[in-house]
């Protein structure tokens, strides 16, 4: 949005500039703050950054551990930037909330404790541990299961409207991980109770890409050349069709489960699921932090 600097040879009032800046975006406001000292002052004002914060930000902060009293900042801009760089724990520590810095869109992560994990409370199959690198007090470690099935839900009215979201399983692997190598899992994201499009994903970053092929090579014996069938197995880095894990900047891995467009005014339960129940093999070694729900670029 273009903002004229002068009207009738005089600079616009700061309040007028602040109102105009509040109709842009955090990224545009930061750029326009370089126009003049008046623009810079307007771009720092609470009136601008109050508009960039979600309308229900105070309610969300009220759900945080310790409540709003733990988030005292000298300006709304400082609060905004804190929510971008430091996710806060809400809902008794079972979820986290943050903002996308350049747009102000909402991001949530559902902790493993807030997911429905089949056999999750059976110590023989799963155990709950603490890791210093996790934002949550507990993560779920897979010990040994044949039936791998988990899901999570969030209401669409908690998300930013008119926004396409992606859901990502956030996890890491132990040194001894098995059962996920070349066995695809199925993921889905959609409205609970409705048909969803299934996606193929591979949870083992080492095994999911490993394929084998066989090549017939002629072999020379003595002074005679015989085209004997000498079979050599060659390992190649082919990529099976489907999604594969990626490394995150925080040290965890993630894999996209699917995406969903949140319409303005929509209120429904968004469900994310991940299953591997067809292979019949036992699986172990994953550590689940949760499901990250954030706007797609």
Specify whether 151 is located in the same domain as 16: no
- State how far Cα 44 lies from the chain centre: 30
Residue 1 pLDDT > 90: no
In a domain, residue 5? The reply is no
Specify whether 172 is located in the same domain as 42: no
Residue 44 pLDDT > 60: yes
Specify whether 40 is located in the same domain as 130: no
Specify whether 18 is located in the same domain as 154: no
Specify whether 129 is located in the same domain as 266: yes
Instruction: Give the separation between CA 110 and CA 93, rounded to whole angstroms.
Output: 10
Specify whether 113 is located in the same domain as 195: yes
Q: What is the residue range of 174's domain?
A: 96-209+240-295
In a domain, residue 83? The reply is no
pLDDT reported for residue 18: 87
What does the pLDDT average to over 169-188? Answer: 90
- Nearest 5°: CA angle at 205, between 201 and 207? 90
In a domain, residue 41? The reply is yes
Residue 9 pLDDT > 50: no
What does the pLDDT average to over 250-262? Answer: 97
Residue 10 pLDDT > 70: no
Specify whether 47 is located in the same domain as 104: no
Specify whether 164 is located in the same domain as 263: yes
In a domain, residue 129? The reply is yes
The structure's pTM equals 0.84
Domain containing residue 114: CATH number: 2.60.120.260
Contact 88/114 with Cβ under 8 angstroms? no
What does the pLDDT average to over 106-124? Answer: 97
| Mean pLDDT over the full length of the chain | 85
Residue 207 pLDDT > 70: no
Residue 217 pLDDT > 90: no
E strands of 91-158, at which residues? Answer: 95-99, 106-111, 116-117, 126-129, 139-142, 148-155
Instruction: Please report how many Cα atoms fall inside a 13 Å half-sphere around the Cα of residue 74, on the Cβ side.
Output: 1
More confident residue, 222 or 267: 267
pLDDT reported for residue 69: 67
pLDDT reported for residue 79: 94
Specify whether 104 is located in the same domain as 251: yes
In a domain, residue 29? The reply is yes
Instruction: Give the separation between CA 78 and CA 59, rounded to whole angstroms.
Output: 18
What does the pLDDT average to over 226-233? Answer: 39
Q: Which of 11-20, 198-207, 230-239, 244-253 comes out lowest in average pLDDT? A: 230-239
pLDDT reported for residue 197: 87
What does the pLDDT average to over 263-283? Answer: 92
In a domain, residue 82? The reply is no
Instruction: Give the separation between CA 267 and CA 155, rounded to whole angstroms.
Output: 7
Count how many domains the chain has.
2
What does the pLDDT average to over 125-133? Answer: 97
Specify whether 45 is located in the same domain as 151: no
In a domain, residue 180? The reply is yes
Specify whether 31 is located in the same domain as 144: no
pLDDT reported for residue 60: 94
What does the pLDDT average to over 256-270? Answer: 96
More confident residue, 204 or 185: 185
Give Cα separations from 235 to 29, 177, 242, 246 (angstroms): 53, 20, 19, 22
Please name the helix (run of DSSP H) or strand (run of DSSP E) that holds residue 269, with its range, or none. strand 269-276
Say what percent of the chain tops pLDDT 90.
61
Tokens of 102: 């350049």
Residue range 59-106, pLDDT digits in tens? 999 989 877 666 778 899 999 999 999 999 999 999 999 999 999 999
Residue range 174-183, pLDDT digits in tens? 888 899 887 8
What does the pLDDT average to over 108-135? Answer: 97
pLDDT reported for residue 248: 96
Specify whether 115 is located in the same domain as 43: no
Tokens of 289: 């932090």
Residue 234 pLDDT > 80: no
What does the pLDDT average to over 210-233? Answer: 43
Give Cα separations from 3 to 20, 45, 93, 109 (angstroms): 7, 17, 43, 37
pLDDT reported for residue 126: 98
Residue range 276-290, pLDDT digits in tens? 988 788 999 999 999
Contacts of 169 (CB under 8 A, 6+ apart): 187, 254, 255, 257, 274, 288, 291, 292
In a domain, residue 253? The reply is yes
């Amino acid at each position: 949005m273009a903002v004229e600097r002068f009207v009738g040879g005089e600079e616009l009032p700061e309040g007028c500039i602040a109102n105009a800046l509040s109709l842009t975006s955090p990224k545009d406001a930061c750029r326009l703050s370089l126009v003049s000292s008046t623009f810079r002052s307007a771009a720092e004002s609470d009136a601008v950054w109050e508009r960039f914060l979600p309308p229900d930000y105070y309610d969300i902060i009220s759900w945080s551990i310790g409540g709003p009293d733990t988030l005292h900042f000298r300006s709304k801009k400082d609060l905004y930037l804190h929510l971008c760089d430091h996710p806060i724990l809400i809902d008794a520590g079972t979820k986290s909330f943050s903002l996308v810095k350049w747009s102000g869109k909402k991001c949530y992560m559902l902790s493993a404790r807030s997911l429905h994990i089949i056999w999750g409370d059976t110590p023989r199959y799963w155990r709950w541990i603490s890791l210093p690198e996790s934002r949550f007090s507990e993560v779920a470690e897979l010990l040994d299961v044949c039936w791998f099935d988990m899901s999570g839900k969030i209401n669409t009215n908690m998300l930013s409207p008119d926004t396409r979201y992606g859901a990502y399983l956030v996890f890491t692997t132990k040194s001894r991980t098995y059962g996920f190598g070349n066995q695809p899992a199925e993921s889905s994201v959609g409205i609970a109770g409705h048909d969803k499009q299934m996606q193929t994903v591979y949870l083992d970053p080492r095994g999911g890409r490993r394929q084998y092929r066989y090549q017939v090579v002629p072999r020379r014996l003595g002074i005679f050349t015989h085209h004997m069938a000498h079979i050599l197995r060659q390992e190649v880095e082919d990529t099976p069709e489907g999604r594969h894990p990626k490394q995150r900047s925080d040290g965890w891995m993630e894999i996209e489960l699917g995406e969903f467009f949140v319409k303005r005014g929509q209120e429904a339960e968004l469900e994310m699921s991940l299953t591997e129940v067809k292979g019949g093999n036992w699986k172990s070694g994953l550590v689940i932090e949760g499901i990250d729900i954030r706007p797609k670029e």
